[in-house]
Amino acid sequence: MNPDLAKLQPYPFEKLAGLHAGITPSAKPAINLSIGEPQHSAPGFIIEEIITHLHGVSRYPKTKGIPRLRETIAAWLRRRYTLPVEKVDPEIHILPVNGTREALFAFAQCIIDRHINPVVILPNPFYQIYEGAALLAGAEPWFINTSAGSNWLPDFDSVPAAVWNRCQLLYLCSPGNPSGAVMDIESMIKLIRLAEKHDFIIAADECYSEIYLDETSPPPGLLEAAHRMGNTDFQRCIIFHSLSKRSNVPGMRSGFVAGDAQIISKFLLYRTYHGCTMPAYTQSASIKAWEDEAHVRTNRQLYREKFAAVIDILNPVMPVDRPAAGFYLWPHTPVEDTRFAKELYARQNVTLLPGSYLSRLAHGYNPGQNRLRIALVPEIDSCMEAAERIRDYINTMQTG
């Protein structure tokens, strides 16, 4: 048995199940805002494309994906990040994957050399796949705490030189999970300079990049930053994108990785043995999804409406900042986050995720403590009803 398995911590939702154990919640209809699973309707044209191409199950798909899918992704990257056609080659820069989760995990297994005392740097709070990937690759996770004081962005200046010198891989998440914080181009360029100096690879999880507040100001991306600084080969830069949040198809398991051609080549080799190939019908449906932006704009508008409605309900009792991107709220709790989540579930049958379940005690404190992650993924009526119940719970707490 792999001894590194013993280093894995319970997943946040396993901890949440333990927190709820033995509780009979209120008889009110259950509302779950704990999981970042989009619940807007999947576009019909994507579903129809899957059905139309189901005959493809009679053949093995290729790990590299069909050329048209890679060409479509390349075209999307050029449009989205204003990259020159000649700098995004679908033959060498792009690899389809079955969603970002499996790719983010597999990437560390491919990249890390466990024989030279490796470090993987990751933000705190974080998506737990980053930590598990680092541990099972034989690396030591090193957390950069983020906080309200840093606008929930990692402070790279806080990392000691000795840690940078051992770093082989850094996970970046912008827009951030759970905060929705967006890193600017200048900060990304600074990070790429550090990667050049200390010879590590940046894995940029950009799966929330298409859900943002300002329609005129989409979040920048790592390849965009690399190109702007003259790193036109995207050296040491790999990005991860998904259709799950963008197109409301989390069950389709479709995404891609893109960037440094030499790294993509090695990751393709790894995946050839790993065996994670995207089914042909998923590839065909993915082409249609990446080609269309109208449904994505509609999706963003739905989230804007939910943010506005929910924040209006909560702000009188729980000041909440509207994030720049993503679909989470990340408010401070008036009591311990686990107590808040447990009592809210018992009294109001609303499920939220304690912020401390998304972070670790590092460098003297846990930056997720006394925070909540509220996923505004159901329809607006359910989100508003949940917000009203949260408000009622807080009011009862204050008068009780």
**pLDDT in the model for residue 397:** 83
The rounded distance, in Å, linking the Cα atoms of 237 and 226 is 8
Q: Which residue carries 């930053």 as its tokens?
A: 225
* Residue 29 CB-density burial (10 A; 0-12 exposed, 13-18 middle, 19+ buried): exposed
Give phi and psi for 377, each to the nearest 5. Answer: -100, -25
Say whether pLDDT at 399 is over 80: no
Cβ 93 vs Cβ 261: under 8 Å: yes
Cβ 135 vs Cβ 112: under 8 Å: no
Q: What is the pLDDT of residues 225-253, one digit of tens each?
A: 999 999 999 999 999 999 999 999 999 99
Share of the chain above pLDDT 70, in %: 99
Give phi and psi for 325, each to the nearest 5. Answer: -155, 175
Which of these, 191, 196, 193, lies nearest to 174 by C-alpha position?
A: 191
The rounded distance, in Å, linking the Cα atoms of 142 and 308 is 36
**pLDDT in the model for residue 316:** 95
The rounded distance, in Å, linking the Cα atoms of 386 and 374 is 10
**pLDDT in the model for residue 56:** 86
Q: Which residue carries 């729980």 as its tokens?
A: 318
Q: What is the pLDDT of residues 302-319, one digit of tens each?
A: 999 999 999 999 999 999
Which of these, 296, 258, 260, lies nearest to 71 by C-alpha position?
A: 258
DSSP 8-class letter at 239: E
Q: What is the pLDDT of residues 117-175, one digit of tens each?
A: 999 999 999 999 999 999 999 999 999 999 999 999 999 999 999 999 999 999 999 99
**pLDDT in the model for residue 372:** 98
Q: 22 in the Ramachandran plot: left (φ > 0), alpha (ψ -120 to 50) or beta? A: left
Cβ 357 vs Cβ 32: under 8 Å: no
Cβ 113 vs Cβ 266: under 8 Å: no
Average pLDDT rounded to a whole number, residues 297-306: 98
Determine how many CB atoms are found less than 10 A away from the CB of residue 217. Answer: 11
Share of the chain above pLDDT 90, in %: 98
Which range has the worst mean pLDDT, 192-201, 300-309, 358-367, 390-399?
390-399
Kindly write down the DSSP assignment for every residue of 43-104, as one continuous string: PHHHHHHHHHTGGGGGSPPPTT--HHHHHHHHHHHHHHHT--GGG--TTTSEEEES-HHHHH
From the DSSP assignment, how many helices (H) and strands (E) are in the chain? Answer: 14, 12
Average pLDDT rounded to a whole number, residues 81-109: 97
Cβ 373 vs Cβ 178: under 8 Å: yes
How many angstroms separate the first and last alpha carbons of the chain? 52
CA-based Rg of the chain, rounded to a whole angstrom? 21
Task: Give the global pTM.
Answer: 0.97
Sorting pLDDT into bands at 50, 70 and 90, what band is 400?
low
Q: What is the pLDDT of residues 171-186, one digit of tens each?
A: 999 999 999 999 999 9
Name all domains of the chain by residue range, CATH numbers in brackets: 3-41+295-399 (3.90.1150.10), 45-292 (3.40.640.10)
Q: Cis omega (within 30 of 0) on the bond before 175?
A: yes
Average pLDDT rounded to a whole number, residues 276-287: 96
Supply the mean pLDDT for the chain: 97
Q: At what angle do helices 100-111 and 128-136 cross, to 10 degrees?
A: 30
Beta bridge partners, 329, equal 374
Beta bridge partners, 39, equal none
* Residue 58 CB-density burial (10 A; 0-12 exposed, 13-18 middle, 19+ buried): exposed
